[in-house]
Amino acid sequence: MTRFLVFAVTLALAISAFADKGVNKMKINPRPKEPHTTFQTGGGYDPTRDIRTDAVIQYSCINDRMKSWMDKGYVVQTMYGFRTGDDYIKDHRDEVQTTADGTLHTCGPGSYYMVPTQTRIDAAVDYYRQAIKNGTSMAVPEEPEFFIQTGYSESFKKEWQAYYGEPWQDQTASIEARWKSSRLKAFLEYRMVESILKESKKLNPEVVRAVAAHSAVSYYNWGIIYPHYQTMKMPELQEMIGQVWTGTARTPCKYEGKSEERTFEYGFLEYSALYNLMRGTGKRVWFLMDPLEDNPDRSMDDYQMNYVRTLVGSLMFTDVDEYEVMPWPERIFGRVPDGFATVIMNVVTMLGDIHNQKESALDTGTQGIATFVADSMGWQRGEPNASNYDNFYGMTLPLIMKGIPVQVAQLERTPEPKYLDPYKVLVLSYDIMKPMDAAYNKAIAAWIREGGSLVLLGGKDAYNDLPEWWKKEGFASPHLHLLAALKCPAEDGTYSVGKGTVIVRSAPPSYYASSKKAAAEFRVLVAQACGKAGLQYKEQHYMTVRRGRYVAVRAFEEPVTLKGTYVNVLDHGLPVIKDPQVAAEDLGVFADVSAMLADKKPRLMLSSSRLESSSETAGETRLLLSGPLKTKSIARISTAGKRATSVTVQDPQGKALPFEQKLEQGTLAITHDGLPEGVAVDVKWK
């Protein structure tokens, strides 16, 4: 962290000639002790990509590239992908994930998804040995993914023989073969991550050990195997980057019979699954969002609209203040219009300040309702009996579309003390996943007896016939095992269990995604469960979160009006708005500036550049602002009723820089070109 402070002081000293008073009067704004913001890039330092976060994720272990960022004051984190290119597979074709017809599975030309063989593990460990030698602060393997349709390569067949002690089986031959294939894929991904993190800890215990992966909601929908819970429990793992962005969150999902993109709602569920996977473990979770996503064919309006939807979704989780603010700035800056680039930097600056905002509050519909994901959710998503993913939507979207922030909890964590304490109502179905231990049912039953309400749906699923623990205990399904633990009959009804309630419906959860009528029926069930648990059921047409002075809004069927005076973070001009209104079906992010406008001295309200140092008095405002080269930066300053007698904007060499100024609504907006080494803004007031 010393490197950050030195860099900030250097910036301040570089403009000492511009100030009438000594630099020691400037207040330095150092980086936090632990990074809270980062971004991902493959190349060495580039001033057009210098977005002034706390850290940078280098997709490289090359010393010169890493050092180029370190020399600019960045904490360097190192990423490694589970895919590889043409050069490697020339001699290792059998290690590529392969489909039944022999197709090598790729993520586009020259990017192959690999079976995590020992050869691949050795290559990854060597990569991190080099990165740690070169001074990385974090080892973060990313996207450990095995696809449901692959599993036919010679390397996978050998792994099957080694793991199960029997010849490989075609995964489509039976539900048991599918189950075994998926569990093996999960084990192989786990083994590779574990090997990387164990070696990293051995080489340098001070290096933070993390993994970056999509949410369970995204992976299992897309037919990708990854053991989220098992990896989270890995002793070597300390942090996780939850890879949610427009490309995952815009996945069409079914509500009231219509399968459409619902980026905020889907993104919210993704972030929820990641948050509740890590909640209370002491292991940090980072949230990713992406201003541009992978698909190069979208319009700029589309990119920006959906970027905002994931941003607002991420802000709803008030315990999280670590963000990967974007991947690949090299594909963003220089491509997006100037106004969009400035908005992105408005957001980056805000996210860098979120950890300083100590108070938070949610204004939503009923809180305290949850459903589940589990690692096994990914194991029954392929032929011969792929589970219906509409089951998940039927248990979530009818609530979230009415402003109710249903949470996505991790089933395997139910036996942990206090894990279920935040919830009064649980919605559960084993039609889309299986509990891999009877302890999960016992924990849920105990929670109900203490006063919780359970809505239990479905019960008929092909994977009930697996030779798993419930069969050994004499039950036809884990659903029936749970009902037996609750001493409830296996038929529709509402039953009292201890201090709690169980509402049983045999309809599969997918039914509640099938029509408007079915969605309404589901909400009636949940309202009934809330009533039994002493929880007031409330729908509303918006969800709002306040993170200190920042407010994010998702409006549904009606507009939402905020009271007070705000700066619009999502406008490149940072306009000041009194009582802003967010239109129906729209979103907004604002900074509350009411207190600043009431101050007796001028104040910097918001800037798209990072504030490196400042001095704010009644007679003068001096700011050192740093931002990426070739990006327009704006700073909005309250005037406190004063008149600006002079405004200067200079580079570190004292050269005057072009700028624009605009006085409006008791504020002064100064627009200038960004410089990573800092721009000195000096305003004298009378």
What tokens does 208 get?
């933070």
Q: What is the pLDDT of residues 598-642, one digit of tens each?
A: 999 999 999 999 999 999 999 999 999 999 999 999 999 999 999
pLDDT at 366 over 60: yes
Average pLDDT in the 139-143 region?
Answer: 97
pLDDT at 86 over 50: yes
Give Cβ neighbours of residue 434 (< 8 Å, ≥ 6 apart). Answer: 374, 376, 379, 380, 463, 466, 468, 478
Instruction: Note the pLDDT of residue 180.
Output: 98
**pLDDT above 60 for 16:** no
Report residue 11's pLDDT band, with 50, 70 and 90 as the boundaries: low
Mean local confidence (pLDDT), 50-67? 97
Can you give the pLDDT at residue 362?
A: 98
CATH number at 597-685: 2.60.40
Average pLDDT (371-393) is 97
Rounded to the nearest integer, the mean pLDDT of the chain is 95
Confidence of residue 59 (pLDDT cuts 50, 70, 90): very high
Structure tokens at 84: 């590889």
Average pLDDT on 364-384 reads 97
- How would residue 25 be classed by pLDDT, with cut points 50, 70 and 90? confident
Concatenating the DSSP letter of every residue in 288-339 gives E--SS-S-TTS-HHHHHHHHHHHHHHHHT-TT---EEEEE-GGGTTTTS-HH
Flag the least confident range among 23-32, 274-283, 416-425: 23-32
Instruction: Render pLDDT for 308-361 as a digit per residue (tens, 0 to 9).
Output: 999 999 999 999 999 999 999 999 999 999 999 999 999 999 999 999 999 999
**What is the pLDDT, as a whole number, of residue 14?**
47
Q: Sorting pLDDT into bands at 50, 70 and 90, what band is 17?
A: very low
Q: What is the pLDDT of residue 121?
A: 96
In the predicted structure, residue 268 carries a pLDDT above the cut 60: yes
Rounded mean pLDDT, 166-176: 98
Cα 377 to Cα 372: distance, rounded to the nearest angstrom = 10
pLDDT at 655: 96
The percent of residues above 70 in pLDDT, for the chain, comes to 97
- CATH class for the domain made up of 542-592: mainly beta
Asked if the 369-532 domain carries CATH number 3.30.70, the reply is no
Query: For 200-209, what is the mean pLDDT?
Result: 98
Task: Report pLDDT for 2.
Answer: 41
- Classified by CATH at the fold level, domain 33-83+116-154+175-358 comes out as TIM Barrel (3.20.20)
Give the pLDDT score at 653: 92
Structure tokens at 600: 């007796």
Q: Which of 368, 390, 386, 370 is nearest to 378 (CA)?
A: 386
Model confidence at 100: pLDDT above 90: yes
Which among 300, 301, 314, 297 is positioned nearest to 245, based on CA atoms? 314
Give tens-digit pLDDT for 471-520. Answer: 999 999 999 999 999 999 999 999 999 999 999 999 999 999 999 999 99
Q: pLDDT of 124-137, one tens digit each? A: 999 999 999 999 99
DSSP assignments along 44-89, one per residue: S--GGG----SEEEES---HHHHHHHHTTTPEEEEEEESEE-HHHH
Residue 44: how many other CB atoms lie within 10 Å: 15
Cis-peptide, bond into residue 384, ω within 30° of zero:
yes
pLDDT of residue 554: 98
Q: Where are the domains of the chain?
A: 33-83+116-154+175-358, 369-532, 542-592, 597-685
Q: What pLDDT shows up at residue 471?
A: 98
Per-residue pLDDT at 26: 87
This prediction's pTM: 0.96
Domains 542-592 and 597-685 share a fold: yes
Report the distance separating Cα 466 and Cα 463, nearest Å. 6
Please state the rounded mean pLDDT for residues 23-32. 79
Report the C-alpha dihedral over residues 401, 545, 444, 491, rounded to 10 degrees: -20
